[in-house]
A and B are shown apart, each in its own frame.
Chain A
């Protein structure tokens, strides 16, 4: 048997039962690799369930820094009897299968091309610990100890992490460390020289952080000065509000009174959640909410109101697999059209596409400036992979002298000194953005009646066609202004001949860059454009016009970004080839590479070596 032999480049999959405490053990493992300076990306593949169903945690370790999903499993840690056989079969030839050998493997487990590593996890745990709850939890820690030996990870890194985790409860650290040692010693005594995959300290990561996008967004909202949120629980967006609440409890408590400088209202549904945001923003407080696809559907009517009445809204859509309830715990980028054109009538909304936690923080904060400057909804398009998985990312940044851009708001003084007649929907500056007032500011000036019915420049009800039309056209002027303010695309030109161009966004970014680099090693240079916002800027159109072969990489069935590019930029549909991943799992580089190769549109100087297929799960 040819054992897989690699340093800092492998994929390990933990196969667990959900609700058994495996998540923190698996996280401990991933964090240890991160702390050794080695790029790592954990992906939690979990069911829509609280306890008892299969759950997987896939960790890719890659010295080169490619952190999209790779696919193919080099090491499996199989703790779930329900999926044992499937997990066994998924191991790549030459790989390693670590399992609980308290019970022997059934007869049909007959592979001779992998190394089976049996560890009696249950009996080891039962011998060492008497508390039933600890027995359950520490079984997971024991296998981390096993991996520490097999992969040559210094045990002190892991014990250090545990001590840090239980800083406030040092008593709980002790059994955890004991469990680590049990696993480590058992593997040392029974499986010396077995595993040829190892982790070595690296200098690849220096200043990076590892966190989930939802926490980064929640923190961004704290930094941006959000004070009002209405929200309704929905996977995978809930942890945004939880993070926001956690950080406001740390940084938004009034010293003198102990009162909170924030209002967080758990709403009765998403309609109320977005209503609260609209009411709060209208009344001058920075307000936001977070949801997922089903919530977007419910919010649509009120998003149209915010668009037409010109009220700032910050909304994060952490996309999951649709349609309908779909696969609530799997990822997708399938709400673009629903968000871009949410609501009846002619409406369109600004979208931002972050690709890592740093951008979640940055766009999280910028979204408030944009929404208030443009007086319209801004929707941040995250997804389950970005929101709920930990990602290695550049650290979050905040300029110490940064001021909020509250947009065109007339203060009491502005109103007092105003000579001309003010109109809420009067385009004084020619940029399509009008001046607004906040209730209660001035005793006699600036009051107006906000309405979703058609209105003239002075906010009065009108059914005058010309006034309605002028207002709708002014909103398009504002849309043009938006193009100059939103984040610009990231363009990388590697091929001066402009032959092949890739377009992608959000969490497809990492896999796309990996694929590009793979082609590059084989002598084919590919240019790329990462879309970071909608409406599309001129650079996007120019990039498309420059290239003869273009691929649009997305994680949805219908090529939603492609549709938007065709419609909004008047692109010939024949120019844009779709590469679409819809399996609910984060897109893998090999998927993109295969799709590009398989298109027969290109010739590659050196043929590419076969890559591991991502494979499905289940």
Chain B
């Protein structure tokens, strides 16, 4: 959809602590269908970056192929972006992250891109605990090719074509927990209030943060028979908890009654306060996290919110013991052993 967005903004748009207005985090005009869940997710990303006072040029956006993978063009135009190949976002992000560990990496993918063609790369980025914010915009169908079922479509769910999906669906959050992601959450594009803190927590997290965002496709999968329509999701949503994300160096003013919240300190010192709905939901246990998801599924409900977090797991750079300096800043002096050493190596081959 193309329309002209006015350049005019309120002259007194609020600035964040880094001196940026929300506009500094925006991108080009979206060309997705009007009402697409992905546009709401894009807006939540913009909001999270704004609230976290990120410097836009220190963020890198990488995506695969599909409707969702187009969205990096629609946010953070001051950041470098890379719209790569179908299903290959994780490997491109891995290489980029290896080259410079100091930037913040946002990986955008979709359910086709992640759960089918890119399943292998998804799994292995998780098990390496790459320091990446992996956001999957999940609408249960292939939008760009006109609505075929994807591997996350629920059994029995039917999109615009009206044929119920006969196959089991893949729960990406359960997989992410099992495969080694250290921060796993599920959000809904229609619930920005929940999604923004989930994204902020992910961005503060050191390691692989996977967020499955249920993001309805208005054109092909918003039917009465679909389990990924706006209506169905709103009717069947369940949350683990509500939570506050308290960034580092921000005075904690809110008071939490004992026993009603769980506190998780992130790697950078930020704190996540979880307001418990149910005391059985211990989010630092993989087993309980998977059980929680399965229990709600049995009841026909989607469990959203932060599902699992473990800030203590080493990320890839720590696992391979690489230098703290960005590898892309190293020069001949750092990297080349020089001609004298080569003479010695030559002699070893004599």
Contact = CB atoms under 8 A, between A and B. Distances in A.
A211 to B, nearest CB: 4
A276 interface: yes
Given A230-B94, A440-B57, A450 B82 contact: yes
B92 interface: yes
A449 B84 CA distance: 10
A209 B346 contact: yes
A397 B338 CA distance: 10
Interface string B333-350: 011111111100110011
Given A227-B327, A272-B124, A285-B100, A277 B338 contact: no
A439 B327 contact: no
B328 A447 contact: no
Choose among B316, B317, B323, B338 the residue with the greatest number of A CB atoms under 10 Å from its CB. Answer: B323
Nearest to A35: B350
Choose among A209, A222, A275, A279 the residue with the greatest number of B CB atoms under 10 Å from its CB. Answer: A279
A398 B339 CA distance: 5
A278 B335 contact: no
B335 A447 contact: no
B96 A280 contact: yes
Nearest to B328: A284
B92 A251 contact: no
Interface string B82-99: 111100101111111111
B320 interface: yes
A563 to B, nearest CB: 28
B228 interface: no
B295 interface: no
Choose among A257, A277, A438, A451 the residue with the greatest number of B CB atoms under 10 Å from its CB. Answer: A451
A282 B95 contact: yes
Choose among B82, B330, B340 the residue with the greatest number of A CB atoms under 10 Å from its CB. Answer: B82
Given A268-B121, A275-B94, A284-B99, A260 B323 contact: yes
A402 B332 CA distance: 9
Contacts of A247: 337
A449 B81 contact: yes
Contacts of A282: 82, 92, 95-96, 99
Contacts of B158: none
A210 B124 CA distance: 39
Given A228-B98, A268-B121, A276-B91, A395 B346 contact: yes
A280 B99 contact: yes
Interface residues of B, number: 62
A259 B322 contact: yes
A254 interface: yes
Contacts of B79: 439, 447
B103 interface: yes
Contact of B95 (A35, A254, A275, A437): A275
A200 interface: no
A437 B336 CA distance: 24
A440 B61 CA distance: 12
B84 to A, nearest CB: 6
Given A254-B323, A287-B95, A439 B342 contact: no
Contacts of A265: 94, 98, 128, 316, 320
B321 A260 contact: yes
A225 B62 CA distance: 25
Contact of B339 (A209, A285, A399): A399
A370 to B, nearest CB: 17
A571 interface: no
A62 B62 CA distance: 56
A234 interface: no
A403 interface: yes
Contact of A279 (B77, B92, B124, B335): B92
A440 B100 contact: yes
Nearest to A305: B85
Interface in A445-471: 447-453, 461
B337 A223 contact: yes
Given A228-B327, A263-B322, A302-B88, A444 B342 contact: no
A345 interface: no
Nearest to B62: A279
B99 A261 contact: no
B320 A227 contact: no
B316 to A, nearest CB: 8
B337 A251 contact: yes
Choose among B80, B88, B98 the residue with the greatest number of A CB atoms under 10 Å from its CB. Answer: B98
A453 B56 CA distance: 24
Choose among B124, B332, B336 the residue with the greatest number of A CB atoms under 10 Å from its CB. Answer: B336
Choose among A267, A280, A283, A403 the residue with the greatest number of B CB atoms under 10 Å from its CB. Answer: A283
A563 B205 CA distance: 54
A404 interface: yes
A251 B341 contact: yes
Contacts of B349: 209-211, 395
The interface size bin for chain A is 35 or more
Contact of A447 (B78, B83, B96, B324): B78
B328 A438 contact: yes
Contact of B88 (A227, A275, A283): A275
A267 B98 CA distance: 13
Contacts of A228: 95, 98-99, 327
Contacts of A260: 320-323
B96 A225 contact: no
A219 B55 CA distance: 38
Contact of A285 (B58, B98, B128): B98
A442 interface: yes
B328 A285 contact: yes
Contacts of B98: 227-228, 263, 265, 276, 279-280, 285
Contacts of B340: 400
A188 interface: no
Contacts of A251: 337, 341
B73 interface: yes
Interface string A481-511: 0000000000000000000000000000000
Contact of A275 (B55, B56, B91, B99): B91
B36 to A, nearest CB: 17
Given A209-B346, A265-B128, A395-B346, A227 B95 contact: no
A259 B324 contact: yes
Contacts of A210: 349-350
A137 interface: no
Given A260-B321, A264-B320, A440 B338 contact: no
B103 to A, nearest CB: 5
Nearest to B123: A268
A279 B57 contact: no
A461 to B, nearest CB: 7
B120 interface: yes
Interface in A489-543: none
B110 interface: no
A450 B123 CA distance: 25
A51 B6 CA distance: 72
Contacts of B342: 223, 396-398
A3 interface: no
A439 B100 contact: yes
Given A225-B332, A396-B342, A257 B99 contact: no
Given A228-B95, A449-B73, A450-B83, A272 B324 contact: no
A404 B332 contact: yes
Contacts of B201: none
Interface of A: 34-35, 208-211, 219, 222-225, 227-228, 230, 247, 251-252, 254, 257-265, 267-269, 271-285, 287, 301-302, 305, 395-400, 402-404, 437-444, 447-453, 461
Given A275-B88, A278-B91, A281-B95, 6 more contacts: A227-B335, A263-B322, A279-B96, A280-B95, A283-B99, A447-B79
21 contacts: A35-B350, A210-B349, A222-B337, A261-B330, A262-B322, A265-B98, A268-B123, A268-B124, A275-B85, A275-B121, A279-B98, A279-B99, A283-B95, A284-B328, A403-B332, A437-B80, A447-B81, A449-B83, A450-B81, A450-B82, A452-B85
